[in-house]
Amino acid sequence: MKRLYLSIICCSLGALFLLGWGFDQIASEADLNAGTSQDSHYGQLADGLANHLSHTPRFKHDEVLAALSADFGITASTESRELYALPAALESQLTEPGGLVLASENGPLLYRAIPEFPGLLLQLQLPPPNTRSQTVDLALSIAFYIGLCGTLVLWLWPLTRSLFRLNQAADKIGKGQFQIRVASPRFSYLEKLESSFNHMAAQIEKLMTDNQILARSLSHDIRTPMACLRFGLDAAQDTTDPEKCRGYLSRMDTELSRMEAMTTAFLDYACMEQHSKRIQRDYQNLSELLQELVAENSVIAEQEEVTLTLYHPEQSVLHNFDYHWCYRALQNLVSNAINYARSEVLVSLRFDNTHIHISVEDDGDGIPADQYKTVFTPFVKLATDRSRKEEHYGLGLAIVSRVVEWHGGHVQAKNSTSLSGACFEISLPTH
């Protein structure tokens, strides 16, 4: 908004200054031309009168000037030269063509020396300076305001254009076209607003996509346990054998537990966007987090006959992160690696000048190259899923991707070069 305020102030003041200066120059030039033309005419008249008086006896000067004044509508008289003490520069102008113009209380006066009478000066009363007519003044005023309005229109054009684009984009998003974004021109007063709008639109699109996927996945995955419940309920009602009835009820309890776990997992993921507003980041030691994580998962790894190894630098690796969510994301990666591994899982931590890298590798079957990005999509399960656990809903890696995104990093899936299985690498910026 500072840019907007500064631009309108600079535009308004600049327009006022430039237009005012320009019209002042035009008016001054017009006044100068009119004054110059007027002075030239009266100068020629004074020269003619002075020459005429040079050939007229002194006692007839007043009579001649009275007659000429009446004929030409002027006021002319003679004055004694001794009454005026002038500098040499001005004194010389009295004998030059055009004479000397001096100001007085009654207006400008033109003085001209009479060649044959050195002691006398011809005095000619000049009319007041020409003033511009009201029509000219009105025209200049109209031109000034038109120029000012034109300048403001030029300033407002990028603003109104940006607002129009924002209005169109908001209208399309309101109609369900969530992929719409506002194109930012080279120059815009609303650059931050447009960027924020596009970020909002991206978040809305992502939220709506997740909700649609959530609805499809939940409706798809919940049908099987519901069908089992319906079958078990019908069977329990039809049987008269108490043992069979208890068996049916036990299966129904298992399916209900599965539905409860599934619903809880789906709702937890749906609420993650709210959790992103409440993360508590602090500078902590990543090496200690990984050591604790590996220690807690070692028992599970031993049960699955998998070797879990951690490699990390000897010095502390400090980073600004939320301990709870980072631990949960890394827990998802490590538990997945243990489930998919044949015999070995490797967790490593390294860093360089720009990023901190955390990788989790296993010696399982790996991931097809065309599914490196797909695995992070919510509710997506690999077709070759060989996990030892059954309660997998395709949310673990989606949560990892979301948590890493909160911390300004990125996560990628690839195949391990050392263990020949899958490798998930998290990269977090050091600053």
Q: How many domains does the chain have?
A: 4
pLDDT at 386 (0 to 100): 44
Other CB atoms within 10 A of residue 29 CB = 10
Quote the CA–CA distance of 329 and 287 in Å, as a whole number: 15
| pTM score of the predicted model | 0.54
Please give the average per-residue pLDDT across 49-67, as a whole number. 84
pLDDT at 333 (0 to 100): 93
pLDDT at 427 (0 to 100): 94
Mind spelling out the 3-state secondary structure of 317-385? CEEEECHHHHHHHHHHHHHHHHHHCCCEEEEEEEECCCEEEEEEEECCCCCCHHHCCHHHCCCCCCCCC
DSSP state of 117: E
- Show which of 94, 125, 156 is a domain's final residue: 125
pLDDT tier for residue 234 given thresholds of 50, 70 and 90: confident
| DSSP string for residues in 266-297 | HHHHHTHHHHGGG---EEEEHHHHHHHHHHHH
What is the CATH classification number for the domain harbouring 327? 3.30.565.10
Contact 273, 208 (CB under 8 A): no
pLDDT reading at 62 higher than 60: yes
Contact 390, 407 (CB under 8 A): no
pLDDT at 382 (0 to 100): 63
Chain segment 371-381, per-residue pLDDT in tens: 888 888 877 76
HSE, CB side, 13 Å, CA atoms: give it for residue 16: 5
**Where in the sequence is the domain holding 357, given as residue range(s)?**
278-429
pLDDT at 310 (0 to 100): 93
Backbone angles phi, psi at 89, to 5 degrees: -65, -40
Quote the CA–CA distance of 270 and 379 in Å, as a whole number: 12
Please work out, in degrees rounded to the nearest 5, the angle formed at the alpha carbon of residue 390 by the alpha carbons of 268 and 422: 85
Q: In this structure, are 108 and 81 located in the same domain? A: yes
pLDDT at 309 (0 to 100): 93
Q: In this structure, are 171 and 95 located in the same domain? A: no
Chain segment 148-189, per-residue pLDDT in tens: 777 777 777 777 888 888 888 888 888 888 888 888 777 776
Of the chain, the percentage scoring pLDDT greater than 90 comes to: 16
Quote the CA–CA distance of 96 and 84 in Å, as a whole number: 17
Least confident of 137-146, 260-269, 377-386, 419-428: 377-386
Q: In this structure, are 209 and 332 located in the same domain? A: no
Quote the CA–CA distance of 191 and 178 in Å, as a whole number: 20
Least confident of 45-54, 127-136, 162-171, 328-337: 127-136
Q: In this structure, are 288 and 423 located in the same domain? A: yes
pLDDT tier for residue 39 given thresholds of 50, 70 and 90: low
Chain segment 306-330, per-residue pLDDT in tens: 999 999 888 888 899 999 899 999 9
End-to-end Cα separation, the chain, in angstroms:
28
- Show which of 92, 108, 125 is a domain's final residue: 125
Tokens standing for residue 303: 């049960």
Q: In this structure, are 283 and 260 located in the same domain? A: no
Residue of higher predicted confidence among 209 and 298: 298
Q: In this structure, are 68 and 171 located in the same domain? A: no
> Which contacts qualify for 18-21: CB closer than 8 Å, 24 or more apart?
19/144, 19/147, 19/148, 19/151, 20/144
Q: In this structure, are 304 and 397 located in the same domain? A: yes
Q: In this structure, are 151 and 54 located in the same domain? A: no
Tokens standing for residue 141: 């005023």
**To 10 degrees, the CA torsion angle through 57, 58, 59, 65?**
90
pLDDT tier for residue 428 given thresholds of 50, 70 and 90: very high
> Pairing mode, if any, of strands 307-311 and 344-351?
parallel
pLDDT at 60 (0 to 100): 84
CA 108 to chain centre: 62
What is the phi-psi region of residue 99: left when phi exceeds 0, alpha when psi lies from -120 to 50, beta otherwise? left
pLDDT tier for residue 69 given thresholds of 50, 70 and 90: confident
